[in-house]
Structure 1
Amino acid sequence: MNEIIFFGQNEYPKLFKNEPYKIKKPIQFKFENDENENENENENENEKQIKQISSSYFATIFLFKNGKAIEYLNEQYSRDSKQNPKKIQIEENIQKVSVGHQNVAILTTEGNVFAKGKDINPKNSKEFINISSLIEDINDRIIEDIACGGNALYLLTSNQNAYGIGLNHSGQLGFDSETLPKTQKPILMMKNVSKIFSGGNSTYIFLLDSNQELFGCGWSNFGQLGLGESRKQETKIQKLTKIQNIPKGKIINIKCGSIHSIMLIEDENQNQNPKRKLYSCGNWEVNGLGKDEDEDTYEFTEIKSSLFENDDYILDFSCGQYHTLILTSNSKLIGFGYNAHGELGTEDIKNQLIPIQIELPKLRFNEDISNYHISCGYDNSFIYYSPRPFSNLEEDLIKLFQRKEFCDISFKTKNGEIIEAHKLILKYRLNQNQIEKLQEIISNKSIKESNQLFEMIYSNNSKINPKLYSEIKEIINSNEKI
Structure 2
Amino acid sequence: MYCCCWGETDCADFGLTAKDQCFPLLYGKEIIYEISFQNGNLVIVLRNGKTILFEEQESLAQQRHKAKVVAVKGESIHTAVSGESHVLFLTRAGEVYELMCFAKKSETVCPRLIPNLQGIPIIQIACGRHHSLALSQDGKLFSWGLNTFGQLGITKKKVVLSSPRHLVNLEGVPLAQISAGGAHSIAVSLSGTVFTWGRNNAGQLGLGSTEDKYSPNIVRSLEQKKTIFVSCGEEHTAILTKDGMVFTFGAGGYGQLGHNSSRNELKPRLVAELLGVQVSQIACGWYHTLAYVCTTGKLYTFGCGLQGQLGNRKRCNQLVPLSAELPLTTKNGESLSDKIPNLIKRIHAGGNQSMIIYSEVENCSISEDQFANSMNKRIAILNDGTVQKWINNTDNKKRMKIKREIGIIFSSASCVNGSFLETSNDQHFKTSPVELGVDMSAVYLFFEKVKQRPYIFEEVKTSVKKMLASLTDSPICAEALRVYLIVPELIRLLDEEYDISLLTDLLSNAILNLKKDKRKMFASLLTAFPTSFFKMFVNLYQRVSKQCFQKTMEKYSEKNIKQLKMILHILQSFYQVNLDAGLKIQEQNFYVPEVTRAFKDLRDRCLQLRNWEEFKNPMLLLLSLKDFPCIFDMEGKLEMFELGNAIALQKMIPGMDNSLPVRRENILQDAFHFLRRRSPNNFQAPLQVYFSREQGVDQGGLSQEFFTLVTKELCTPEANIFKHYEDSRLIWFPEDGSRTGDEYHLAGEICGLALYNRCVADFHFPLALYKKLLNIRPTLEDMHELSPTEGRCLQGLLDEDYDDVIDRLMLDFTKLSTNDGSVAELIPDGEATPVTRHNRKQYVDAYVDYVFNTSVKKNFEDFAYGFKKGCSNVMWAMFVPVELMAIIHGNTVYDWEQLEKNAKYIGYDVSSEVIKNFWTVFHDLSEEMKKRFLAFLTGTDRIPVGGMEKFTFTICNQGFLYSDLFYPSANTCARILYLPCYSSIEALRIRLQHALQFFEEFGLA
Residues 77/334 of structure 1: CA separation in 2 closer, same or farther (3 Å cut): farther
Q: CA deviation at 1:453?
A: 12
2:21 aligns to what? 27
1:195 aligns to what? 176
Q: CA deviation at 1:367?
A: 7.9
Q: CA deviation at 1:182?
A: 0.6
Q: Which amino acid aligns with 1:29?
A: F
TM-score w.r.t. structure 1 length? 0.67
User: 2:71–2:110: 8 Å Cα contact kept in structure 1?
Assistant: no
Q: CA deviation at 1:101?
A: 1.6
Structure with greater strand percent: 1
Q: CA deviation at 1:17?
A: 6.9
> What does residue range 280-359 of structure 1 map to in structure 2 within 5 Å?
280-305=248-273, 310=276, 312-329=277-294, 330-359=296-325
Q: CA deviation at 1:314?
A: 2.0
CA deviation string 1:395-419 (max 9, x = no partner): x99xx99967223389xxxxxxxxx
User: 1:12–1:75: 8 Å Cα contact kept in structure 2?
Assistant: no
1:60 aligns to what? 42
1:215 partnered with 2:215: no
Structure with greater helix percent: 2
2:272 is paired with a residue whose SS is coil
In structure 2, C-alpha distance between the alignment counterparts of 1:147 and 1:335, rounded to whole Å = 23
Q: Which amino acid aligns with 2:176?
A: K
1:251 aligns to what? 227
In structure 2, C-alpha distance between the alignment counterparts of 1:246 and 1:116, rounded to whole Å = 35
Residues 159/180 of structure 1: CA separation in 2 closer, same or farther (3 Å cut): farther
1:14 is paired with a residue whose SS is helix
CA deviation string 1:254-281 (max 9, x = no partner): 0000011000012xxxxxxxx3100000
User: 1:116–1:129: 8 Å Cα contact kept in structure 2?
Assistant: yes
1:50 aligns to what? 32
Q: Which amino acid aligns with 2:4?
A: I
In structure 2, C-alpha distance between the alignment counterparts of 1:321 and 1:285, rounded to whole Å = 12
> What does residue range 81-100 of structure 1 map to in structure 2 within 5 Å?
84-90=66-72, 91-100=74-83
Q: Which amino acid aligns with 1:92?
A: E
In structure 1, C-alpha distance between the alignment counterparts of 2:348 and 2:269, rounded to whole Å = 23
In structure 1, C-alpha distance between the alignment counterparts of 2:71 and 2:425, rounded to whole Å = 37
Residues 180/401 of structure 1: CA separation in 2 closer, same or farther (3 Å cut): closer
In structure 1, C-alpha distance between the alignment counterparts of 2:59 and 2:205, rounded to whole Å = 29
1:314 is paired with a residue whose SS is coil
Q: Which amino acid aligns with 1:264?
A: L
Percent of paired sites with the same residue? 22
Residues 81/128 of structure 1: CA separation in 2 closer, same or farther (3 Å cut): farther
> What does residue range 169-208 of structure 1 map to in structure 2 within 5 Å?
169-177=148-156, 179-189=157-167, 190-193=170-173, 194-199=175-180, 202-208=182-188
User: 1:61–1:97: 8 Å Cα contact kept in structure 2?
Assistant: yes
Q: CA deviation at 1:175?
A: 3.7
Q: CA deviation at 1:213?
A: 2.7
1:85 is paired with a residue whose SS is strand
> What does residue range 143-182 of structure 1 map to in structure 2 within 5 Å?
143-177=122-156, 179-182=157-160
Q: CA deviation at 1:377?
A: 1.1
Unaligned runs of 5+ in 2: 103-108, 331-335, 389-401, 407-418, 427-1005
Identify the structure with bigger relative contact order (alpha carbons < 8 Å, sequence gap 6+): 1
Residues 117/58 of structure 1: CA separation in 2 closer, same or farther (3 Å cut): farther
In structure 2, C-alpha distance between the alignment counterparts of 1:167 and 1:319, rounded to whole Å = 21
2:865 aligns to what? none
User: 2:306–2:315: 8 Å Cα contact kept in structure 1?
Assistant: yes
Q: Which amino acid aligns with 2:278?
A: Y
1:198 is paired with a residue whose SS is strand
Q: Which amino acid aligns with 2:184?
A: Y
1:101 is paired with a residue whose SS is coil
Q: What's the Cα RMSD here?
A: 3.8
Q: CA deviation at 1:449?
A: 7.9
> What does residue range 343-382 of structure 1 map to in structure 2 within 5 Å?
343-364=309-330, 369=342, 371-382=344-355
Larger radius of gyration: 2
In structure 2, C-alpha distance between the alignment counterparts of 1:161 and 1:242, rounded to whole Å = 17
Q: CA deviation at 1:375?
A: 0.9
Residues 248/85 of structure 1: CA separation in 2 closer, same or farther (3 Å cut): same
2:97 aligns to what? 114
Q: CA deviation at 1:96?
A: 1.2
1:245 is paired with a residue whose SS is helix
1:384 aligns to what? 357
User: 2:249–2:265: 8 Å Cα contact kept in structure 1?
Assistant: yes
Residues 294/4 of structure 1: CA separation in 2 closer, same or farther (3 Å cut): closer
Q: CA deviation at 1:169?
A: 1.1
Q: CA deviation at 1:196?
A: 3.9
CA deviation string 1:302-342 (max 9, x = no partner): 0011x65x4x4322221111011111120101100001110
Q: Which amino acid aligns with 1:30?
A: P
Residues 409/292 of structure 1: CA separation in 2 closer, same or farther (3 Å cut): same
CA deviation string 1:224-255 (max 9, x = no partner): 11011xx23x2x22222222211533211100
2:3 is paired with a residue whose SS is strand
CA deviation string 1:337-374 (max 9, x = no partner): 00111000122211001111111114546586364211
CA deviation string 1:423-463 (max 9, x = no partner): xxxxxxxxxxxxxxxxxx9xxx9xx98666999xxxxxxxx
TM-score w.r.t. structure 2 length? 0.34
Unaligned runs of 5+ in 1: 38-47, 120-125, 267-274, 411-419, 421-440, 456-482
2:764 aligns to what? none
In structure 1, C-alpha distance between the alignment counterparts of 2:343 and 2:205, rounded to whole Å = 29
Q: CA deviation at 1:87?
A: 1.8
User: 1:290–1:303: 8 Å Cα contact kept in structure 2?
Assistant: yes
Residues 64/454 of structure 1: CA separation in 2 closer, same or farther (3 Å cut): farther
User: 1:12–1:74: 8 Å Cα contact kept in structure 2?
Assistant: no
Q: Which amino acid aligns with 2:162?
A: Q
Residues 33/113 of structure 1: CA separation in 2 closer, same or farther (3 Å cut): same
In structure 1, C-alpha distance between the alignment counterparts of 2:143 and 2:58, rounded to whole Å = 27
User: 1:13–1:73: 8 Å Cα contact kept in structure 2?
Assistant: no
Residues 453/129 of structure 1: CA separation in 2 closer, same or farther (3 Å cut): farther
In structure 1, C-alpha distance between the alignment counterparts of 2:285 and 2:146, rounded to whole Å = 21
In structure 2, C-alpha distance between the alignment counterparts of 1:82 and 1:222, rounded to whole Å = 36
Q: Answer with 253-262 or 360-369: which moved more.
A: 360-369
In structure 2, C-alpha distance between the alignment counterparts of 1:388 and 1:276, rounded to whole Å = 15
Q: Answer with 243-252 or 106-115: which moved more.
A: 243-252
In structure 2, C-alpha distance between the alignment counterparts of 1:238 and 1:254, rounded to whole Å = 20
In structure 2, C-alpha distance between the alignment counterparts of 1:158 and 1:112, rounded to whole Å = 11
Residues 103/79 of structure 1: CA separation in 2 closer, same or farther (3 Å cut): farther
User: 2:45–2:80: 8 Å Cα contact kept in structure 1?
Assistant: yes
In structure 1, C-alpha distance between the alignment counterparts of 2:343 and 2:223, rounded to whole Å = 25
User: 1:147–1:196: 8 Å Cα contact kept in structure 2?
Assistant: no
Q: Which amino acid aligns with 1:207?
A: A
Q: CA deviation at 1:176?
A: 4.0
In structure 2, C-alpha distance between the alignment counterparts of 1:404 and 1:282, rounded to whole Å = 33
User: 1:326–1:333: 8 Å Cα contact kept in structure 2?
Assistant: yes
User: 2:204–2:236: 8 Å Cα contact kept in structure 1?
Assistant: yes
Residues 449/102 of structure 1: CA separation in 2 closer, same or farther (3 Å cut): closer
